[in-house]
Structure 1
Amino acid sequence: MEIRVSGILKSLIVICLVLAFGCSKKSETENYKIGFSQCISKDDWRKAMDHEMEVEASLYTEIELSIFQAHEDIEVQKSQIEFMIENEFDVIIISPLRPEPLVALVERAYDKGIPVIIVDRKIKSQKFTAFVGANNLDVGRNAAKYIASLNEKQSNILEIKGGDNSSPVIERHLGFHEIVYQEANMSVVESIRDNEIQTRIPQIIDSISVNPINYVFAFNDNIAYDAWKIAKSKGVEESIKFIGVDGLNGENNGIQLVENGVLAATILYPTGGDEAIKIAMKILRNENVLKDNILNTTVIDFRNAEIMNDQYDRINKHQKDIESQQKKIIEQEETFSTQSNILKLLVGLLVTSLLLAAYSVYSANNIRKKKRKLELQNKKITLQRNQIKKIAEEVKISNDAKVNFFTGLSHEFKTPITLILSSIESLSENKTIKDNKILNEIGLIFNNSKRLLRLINQLLDFRKIEDRKFVLKASKTNLIKFSKRIFQDFEREAQKRNIDFKFIANSEDLEIYIDRNIMDKVYFNLLSNAFKFTPDNGTISIEIKNDPESNLVNIVFKDSGIGIPKRDLPEVFKAFFQGSNNNKAGSGIGLHLSREFIEMHKGTIEVNSIHGTEFTIKLYKGTSHLNTDDIVYEPDIIDRSIIDFNFDYEDVGFREINPKSEEERYSILLIEDHKELISFLKNKFIGDYEVYMSDGTDAIEKALEIIPDVIICDVNLPDKSGFEICEILKKDLRTSHIPTIMLTALNNKESYIQGLQSGADLYLTKPFSFAVLSQSVKTVIYNREKLRYYFINNIHKISTDNSFGLYAQDFLSKINKIINDNLDNSKLSVENLASDLNLSRVQLYRKTKAILGVTISEYIQNIRLERAKSLLQETQLSISEIAYATGFSSPNYFSTSFKGKYKKSPKTFRQK
C-alpha cells in the first residue's frame, strides 16, 4: 500500500512539473539593444528623426531602442557613446555634432566589433559600418538648379549657412556654389551665418538699391522663415524669393511655408531615422549592407507642395493605424497567452484533482488517526507550556523579589552608617579628647564606615548598570590632581604595611573629560584590589603616560601581588567571577563595574599578569568621542560623596541667621521612623530649635497642628512615603509655605526628580553629614527670612495678578487680592478673610505670622496705609475721601494710624 501511495505522489510531482514548465515556457527570441546618440534635440527635423526611429523600432519585438539626447554638448555625446560601448549595445547609431571629436570613440566601438551607423552628418574616419543620409552636395546643387530654372535675367543670391562646420553645411555650400559658378546670370552677393541674421540681413536689405537681392538660399527652413520675417518687417518680402532645406510637414515647417507662399521652395532632406533602424536590423540578421546609404532628395515648390502634404498626411494616418493595430495585436497575444496558460492550468488541475481524489480516499483514514494522535500531543504540549510559563513567572517574581529585597536592604544600611559617621563627626569636633589611641580608634571606625559605604554603593551601582540607568556627566578635569587626591587616601595604608606606593606622571598639567564620581569608583576598585592581593613590603604604582602625539592617555595600575592565572585573564571582567587562586572574600563585581564605567567613557581597560597584576586604562583626550548630553560644565574640584575625616565645616560659607530668644526659637518637625536616627537628630537640634517628632504615621496632622518653621522628612516611611507627605503639605494652603528637606538613601536621578516634583526645597542622600544638614536648615530659614523682609517692605509693589510660582508667594497673592478687592470695606475682618481662604482664624494667624512675622490684622492695616500714602501723593482727593476709600471707619482714626506709622499727619505728608 505504501509503495502505491509513493507511486501516486511521484506521478503528481511529475505532472505538476510538466504543467508548470508548459505554463511558464515562452517563445524565446533574442532581444537586441540599439542605442542612438542624437546631437541636437530642439528642432523639428531632429524630433522627426527620433520619431521615425521609434516607429520603425516598434515593428520589431526583439528591439530595445534607447535614444540619448546630447543637447549640442560634445562631452555629453562622448559619455553617451562610452556608456553604450561599456554596456555592450548590439548596434550604436550616432548623429555627430561635428566630424572630428567623436572619431576616436567611433573607431574604438568599431574595433571592438560593435556595428556603428552614422546618420546625417559624417565623421573624418572610415571605421564605421554604414552611413545613412542624403547627399548634401545634391541638396546645394538642387537649390541652385531650381533658381536657374526660373529663367531670371540676373539672379543675385544671399546665402545663409548654418552656424557650425558640420559636413552638411560644408557640402551644401560646395554643391550650391558649383552650379552658381556655371551659370553666368547667377551670383552670390553675400554669404552669412545663421547667427548673423538679426544684424546682417537688415543691413543687406537697406542696401538693396545698390545691390539688389533676388533670392535667399537658407540651409534650413527655420532660417529661411526667420529671414522672410525680417524682410517682411522691411516691406520687401514680395521682391525676394526664399528657398529653404528640410521639407518637413507640419505647422510652420517647409511644406506648409511653401503652400502659404512664404517660401518659393524647400529642398526635401530626409531624416533617415527609419532607414537607420532597417539597416541595423539587417546587420543584426547578418545580412549584407552598403557602406553608404544615400537618401533621395528633391525640390518642393508650389507645384508639388500640396501633393507632398497629402502624402505625408496619409503616411501619418497609416502609421497611426499601424500603431493601433500593433497595440491590438499585442493585446490579443497577451490575451491568447493568458487563456492558453489558464487552459493548461485547468487541465493540470483537473488531472491533479482526479489523482488527489484517489489519494484522499486512502489518506482520509490515515489523517483521522494522525489527527487523534496530534490532538493528544497538542494537549500534552499545551499543558507543559502552561507549566513552564507558570514556573517562569514564579521564577521572575522570585528573582524580582530577591533583587528588590537586596536593593532595599542595601538602602537600609545607609541609615545606621549615617548615625555612625555623624557620631564620629561629633567626636572629631570634641576638642577635649586628647588620647591618641582613642583618636586612632575613631579614625579606624571612620575609615571602615567609609569602606562599608563604598561596598554598599558598589552593590547599588551594579543594579544601576544592569538596568542601564547610569548617566555619564563628564567635566573638564586635571587628571594629575584628581589621581593624586585618591593616591593620598591610600598612602596611610601603604605606610602601615610598608608597601612601596608610587605615583608617576610624565606631565603635570593634563586635562581630560571624565565623570569624576564614576572614575573615582574605578580608581578605588583597582587600588583596593591591589592592596588586598599585595603582601606587606610589596610595591604598588599608579603611572600616567601622556603622549602629546597621541589622542589617548594611558593610566597603569601595577602591583607585585599574587597575580592572575593566565586561564582566568579572559574572565576577570565578568560579574561575580572569582579567580582560581583567590582565597579572599569578595563580591566579584568590582572589575565588572570598572570595565562598564570605562566603556561609558568610550575607553578601554586591559589586564596583564606576569609578576603581579597590571591594569591599563586608555582614555581619549578632548570631547569628540562624547555626546553633548554627556558633558557638563563645573569647576575642576574633586567632589566626594563621603566627607573627609578632618573636614572643617566652619568654612562652608553660608550666611548665618540671627538667633531668636528662647521664647521665639524656630521650630523643626522631624519625620523619621528610625528611632536611633530621629533621637540623634533631636539631640543635635534641641539646643537651638524647638524640635517636634513624628514616625510618619501622624506627620500631616502634626504639621497642621504645629505649623513648624522647617520640616525634615525621610522618604521611606511606614504609612505614606516622604514624597507623598511633602506633596500633600505643599498643596495645603495652611502648610504650603514651610521649607521641606528630604532625607533618603535613594540617590538616583528619578528619585531626585520625584522629590523636586513633590515640592521639596532640598534633597540630601544618606549617609549625610550633620554639619551639612544643620547648615541646610539655617539656609532655608535664612532664605525665608529674606522673603519675609521683602514682602513686609514691598507690600505696595505686590501685584494681585501675578503668579509667583512659589507656594508662599501664591498664598500672599490670594490674600492681597481679597484685601484690595475689599479695601474700601471698613468691616473687612480677619474672620472674613479666613473664610474666603477656607482657613480657620488660628490657621490664618499662624501661617501669616510664619511667613511675614506680623499678624494678619497688622498686615491688612499696612496695606490700607500704603494705599492711602499713594493716594495722598498721586490724587487731589480730600483726606476724608482717602480715609473712607482705604477702609478706615473715620478720618480721625485714619490720621492717628497714619501718623503712628509714618510719624507725620496725612496733611503734613501731602504738603511736603
Structure 2
Amino acid sequence: MNPHHLYLASFSQDILFLSGGPVYIGTILSLFGLSALLFSIIERIKNNRMLQQEKQFLSDVFAKIIHEFRASLTVILGLSKQLREQKNLSEGNLATYLNAIERQGSNLTKLVNQLLDIASLQTSDKVVEWKTGNIVAFVEMMSETFRIYARQKGVELYFFSDDTEVEIDFVPDYLNKILYNLLSNAVKYSDEGSRINLIMERDQKERQKMTIKVMDQGRGISEEALPHIFDLFYKDPHNDAEAYTGNGIGLAIVKQVTEGLGGTIRVESEVGKGTVFTVELPFRRNEKQLYPRWIPEKSVPHPVPRAPLLPKANEVAPPGSGGNDPRITILLVEDNKDIFLYIRSIFHEEQYNILYAPNGEKAWDMVNKQLPDIVITDVIMPKKSGLELCREMKASPLLNHIPIVIVSAKNEEADLIEGLRSGADCYIRKPFYPEELQIRVENLLGIRLLLKEKYGRTVLKEEKENLDDNMNTDFLRRVTDIIYREMKNPDFTAGKLAAELAISVSQLNKRLNTITGYPSSTYILQVKLRHAKKIFTSQNKTIGEVSTECGIYDVNYFSRIFKKHTGVTPTQFKRLPQI
C-alpha cells in the first residue's frame, strides 16, 4: 500500500476513536460548521453595533450643527423683520438689534470655519505645509497678539520660555489653531484681575519633546466634564450660560491637530481655581528634507477674537417695577442672550413685564419667587434643561397652574412629543414667526383669564357650575377649607393661611390672584361674607351672632364691609325674598 494511503488510514482511525470511544466525523464537521456560523453571526452583530454607534454619532453631530445654525438664524431673521416693521424704533434699540445680528453672523462664520477645519483634518490627502524656523518666536508672537485681547477683559497674559531660539520643523497653521483655541478659551473663562501664563519649555529628560502649557486662574472645569472636554460639540453642563459662548468644536480641533503632529494633549482643572492645558509635541528636525523657512514678518497670525459685544445688563434684564406691576409678567428662560433680545422685542413693554433667566436652575429660583403669568423656555441649557424645569413646575402645587411655552431648535417630532409630555402647553420650533409666539402666548393667557372668571363666579358667587378636577381646583378647595376651619378665629390672617400652605404671603397672593382675581386677604373676606349670607338665608340669627360666626367681633365694621361687597346692609339682605 502506498505510504500516503497508510497515513490517511491511520489519521481516519484516530478520529474515529478519540478518547477511547467512537466519534462520528459528521458530528465533528457539524460542530465545526456551527462554530464557524456562530463566529460569523457574532462578528456581524459586532459590525452592526459599530455601524449603529457610528450612525448615532453622526446623527448626534448633525443635530447639534443644525441646533447651532437654527439658534443664530432665529435671531438674524427675527430681528431683521423687527427692524423692517418697527417704524418708531429708538436709536438705542436699533444699535442693540444690529449688534445682535452682527454677533450671530460672526457666530455662523466661526462655526462654518471650524467645521471646514474638522473636515480638512479628516481628509487623508491634505497637504501639510511644514516650515522650519524659530518656534519660540512664533509662540511669543501669538502671545503678544492675544495680550491685547486679554487686556480688554482686564486679564494679564504672560509668556515664559527658557530658550529664546529653538530651530525646529513645525506646521504654522496647526500650531496657530492650537494656540488660538487654548488662549481664547483661557481669556474667555478668566475673571477681571486674574492672569494667564503661556509657558514653553523643552523636556529636561527627553530633549526630543517640546511642551507648551496654557495656565489660567479662571472658573475651572468640573470633574464630570473633564473626560469629555475634547469631544466634538461637548459643553460642560455646569458652565454658566452667561459666560459660555462656545459651540464645543475648538478643543476637538486642538486634539486632532496635536495628534496629527504626533503629539499629545492633557488637561488638569479644579473648579474655582483654574485650568492647565499641556501640549507635548515631538522635536522635529529633518536634515534630509529641507522645508521653507518660517519668517515672522511675512506670516499673518490667526485673527484674534474681539471681546464679544455682549448685551448690557439693562438691555437683557431691565429693572421691573416691583411686585405690584399691573403688566403681564413673562419669565423668559434662554441661554442665548440674543434670542432673549429678539423674543423681548416681540412683546410690547407697556403690556408685558419680561423677566430673564439664563438657565433652568436660575429660572426655578425666579419662578418660585416671582410666580410669573407665563414661562417661555428653551430646551438645551446648562445646569438645568427646559424639560427638567417643565417637569418640576408641573409637580409643584405652587407653580403647576403657570402655562409654559417651549421654544427650541430641536425640531423632530419626538422632541415635540417629549416637550409636551414634560408639561409644556405648546412647543414652537426655531426659527419661528414672531406672530406665532405672540398668538400662542395671548391664547394661553386668555384661557387662564376665562378660568379665573369661572373660579370667581363659582366659588364666591355660588353659581351652580361644576369645576373640572384639576390642580387649580384642588388648591382653591384646600385654601377654602382652611378658611372655613378657621372661620370663627378673629386672628386668622393671610400670613397664617400662607404658613399653613407652606408658602410665602406673596406667593399665596400671586397664586390666588391668578386663579380668582383676588389677593389672599380679599379672598378670605369674600369667603367669610359668603358664609354670612348662607347663615342669613338659612337661620334666624341676629347680625351680631352672624358677625361672630364669621370671626368678626366689630358689628359696625361687619355691616360696613357687608354693604360694600353686596350692595345692601345685613338688615336689608335679611328682608330680601329668598329664591
Alignment TM-score, normalising by the size of structure 1? 0.33
Identify which of structures 1 and 2 has the higher relative contact order when contacts are C-alpha pairs closer than 8 Å and 6+ apart.
Answer: 2
**Rg comparison, structure with higher value:** 1
